[in-house]
């Protein structure tokens, strides 16, 4: 296969973070979820340089990489990807196998949000890396092609993944996502969504919690699978509530989803504290967002009541994040 040549010498791209509205954990079991992109973005600059011995150089301060460098040949022929460079290296290897190139790459990242917040920094990294490479080399990949390649890139690193985070990073907006074969992505028309996002102060490891729930799922086959099925029903009930802006109904379903997540062991004391304070302040509903074990809680609450709750939670030591939902997907900057 002939090598592709750079279409640009340098590009800058970005992708949004994400929040699960309903369906986390259930999505892993060929399930469904509601997910929204947030306006905190990860930025990536990719630069191509002619070289007789091509290399990949990564500078990503958020994960502790400062001019990390390997030969391109080593990256392309690797079958194991680990460490802070793993997601970018996996994307470069996968892209190179389909569109070979013989130039050095310099990749730098910067982010509006810390990797510790659980907003999907890994998927945003994959989305920007693949979209950035396709833009750099003038390869016109559709959102679906980016998504399918991105799922493979993530699985090369983690050996699991539902693809929901990645879909939010690529398409943006608010999505109804089905982790079936083939996976299905349905953008929803959601003009407003009065959400508050609060960081619990604890960083959770997504893979660890997914594996923990898998063990519980397999060890209690008469108990946990029915909980997962109930979560799927909550998502199906939540979609029309979300589309019709029926906030009391959606909040009720968020409360139920959180209770089900508590039942499978992924709630924490700080998350529960945030959620009960939110309910006491008159929120429609509140729940953890993501794998659990920490990261963020989301609160559906009237805009007129947000300021009081924000002050209450800040006084209690939590970080209220300034985020808007329905953000644009991966794009050139």
Q: How large a percentage of the chain has pLDDT more than 70?
A: 98
pLDDT digits (tens, 9 = 90+) for 215-238: 999 999 999 999 999 999 999 999
Q: For 85-96, what is each residue's pLDDT tens digit?
A: 999 999 999 999
Give pLDDT, residue 1. 64
- The answer to whether residues 148 and 230 belong to one domain is no
If asked whether residues 169 and 280 sit together in one domain, one would say: no
Domain end (from 189, 205, 232)? 189
DSSP per residue, 266-296? ---HHHHHHHHHHHHTT-SEEEEESS-SSSE
* Domain membership flag for residue 4: no
- The C-alpha atoms of residue 120 and residue 107 are separated, in whole angstroms, by 19
Of the pLDDT bands very low, low, confident and very high (cuts 50, 70, 90), residue 313 is very high
pLDDT in tens, 122-143: 999 999 999 999 999 999 899 9
Same domain, 285 and 149: no
Q: Which residues of 35-52 are buried (b: 16+ CB within 10 A; e: fewer)?
A: bbbbbbbbbbbbbbeeee
Q: What band does 202 get if pLDDT is binned at 50, 70 and 90? A: confident
Confidence of residue 33 (pLDDT cuts 50, 70, 90): very high
Instruction: Note down the domain range covering 237.
Output: 195-321
With 0-12 / 13-18 / 19 or more C-beta atoms within 10 angstroms meaning exposed / middle / buried, residue 311 is: exposed
Identify any residues that bridge with 59 across adjacent strands, giving them in sequence order.
108
Which CATH number goes with the domain that contains 17?
3.30.230.10
- Cβ 197 vs Cβ 327: under 8 Å: no
**Co-location of 86 and 152 in the same domain:** yes
CATH code for the domain in which residue 267 is found: 3.30.70.890
Residue 328 located in a structural domain? no
Distance CA 203, CA 296 (A): 9
Mean pLDDT, the chain, as a whole number?
Answer: 93
Asked whether residue 308 is domain-assigned, the answer is yes
Q: Could you tell me if 24 and 152 lie in one domain?
A: yes
Contact between residue 54 and residue 76 where contact means Cβ atoms under 8 Å apart = no
Q: Identify the pLDDT of residue 328.
A: 96
What is the reported pLDDT for 116? 67
Question: Which of 126, 158, 189 is the endpoint of a domain?
Answer: 189
pLDDT of residue 281: 94
pLDDT bucket at 8, cuts 50 / 70 / 90: confident
DSSP code of residue 3: P
Q: Is 206's pLDDT higher than 90?
A: no
Q: Look-up: residue for tokens 């939670």? A: 313
Q: How does 261-293 read in b/e, with b if 16+ C-beta sit within 10 Å?
A: bbebebbbebbbbbbebbbebebbbbbbbbbbb
Tell me whether residue 1 is in a domain. no
Reported confidence tier of residue 288, pLDDT bands at 50, 70, 90: very high
Is 333 domain-assigned?
no
Question: How many structural domains is the chain composed of?
Answer: 2
pLDDT at 236: 98
Tell me: pLDDT of 182 over 70.
yes
CA 287 centroid distance within chain? 17
Q: Looking at the structure, do residues 240 and 132 belong to the same domain, yes or no?
A: no
- Is 140 within a domain? yes
Looking at the fold, whether 34 and 108 belong to one and the same domain comes out as yes
Specify whether 163 is located in the same domain as 253.
Answer: no
Q: Alpha-carbon distance 221 to 225, whole Å?
A: 6
* 264 shares a domain with 210: yes
* Partners of 332 in the β-ladder: 13
- The average pLDDT across 57-65 equals 92
Do 181 and 149 lie in one domain? The reply is yes
- Residue 78 within a domain: yes
The verdict on 201 and 177 lying in the same domain is no
* Contact yes or no for 20/34 (Cβ under 8 A): yes
Residue 77 pLDDT > 70:
yes
Which of 143, 139, 193 shows the shortest CA–CA distance to 168? 143
Percent of the chain topping pLDDT 90: 82
- Does pLDDT of 159 surpass 90? no
Please indicate, yes or no, if residue 55 is contained in any of the structural domains. Answer: yes
Where a domain ends, among 168, 189, 210? 189
Of 40-44, 94-98, 322-326, least confident by mean pLDDT is 322-326
CA distance 24 to 81: 26
For residues 258 and 312, membership in a common domain is answered with yes
Q: Cβ distance 325 to 195 under 8 Å?
A: yes
């Amino acid at each position: 296969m002939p090598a592709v040549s750079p279409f640009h010498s340098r590009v800058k791209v970005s992708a949004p973070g994400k929040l699960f509205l309903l369906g986390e954990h259930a999505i892993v079991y060929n399930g469904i979820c509601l997910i929204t992109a947030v306006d905190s973005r990860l930025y990536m600059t990719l630069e191509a340089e002619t070289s007789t011995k091509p290399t990949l150089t990564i500078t990503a301060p958020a994960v502790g990489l400062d001019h990390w460098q390997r030969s391109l040949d080593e990256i392309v022929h690797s079958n194991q990807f680990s460490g802070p460079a793993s997601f970018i290296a996996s994307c470069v290897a996968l892209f190179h196998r389909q569109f070979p190139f013989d130039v050095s790459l310099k990749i730098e990242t910067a982010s509006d949000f810390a990797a510790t917040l659980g907003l999907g920094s890994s998927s945003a990294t994959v989305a920007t890396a693949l979209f950035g490479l396709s833009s750099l080399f003038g390869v016109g990949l559709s959102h679906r092609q980016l998504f399918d390649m991105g799922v493979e890139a993530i699985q090369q690193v983690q050996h699991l993944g539902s693809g929901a985070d990645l879909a939010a990073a690529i398409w943006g907006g608010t999505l109804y996502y089905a982790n079936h074969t083939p996976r299905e992505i349905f953008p929803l028309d959601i003009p407003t969504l009065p959400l508050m996002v609060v960081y619990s102060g604890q960083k959770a490891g997504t893979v660890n919690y997914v594996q923990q729930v898998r063990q519980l799922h397999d060890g209690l086959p008469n108990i946990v699978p029915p909980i997962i099925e109930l979560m799927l029903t909550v998502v199906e009930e939540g979609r029309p509530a979300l589309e019709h802006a029926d906030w009391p109904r959606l909040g009720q379903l968020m409360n139920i989803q959180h209770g089900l997540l508590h039942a499978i062991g992924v709630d924490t004391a700080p998350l529960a504290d945030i959620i009960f304070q939110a309910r006491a302040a008159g929120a429609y509903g509140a729940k953890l967002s993501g794998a659990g074990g920490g990261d963020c809680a989301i609160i559906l609450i009237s805009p007129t009541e947000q300021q009081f709750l924000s002050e209450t939670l800040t006084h209690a030591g939590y970080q209220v994040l300034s985020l808007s939902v329905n953000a644009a997907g991966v794009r050139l900057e």
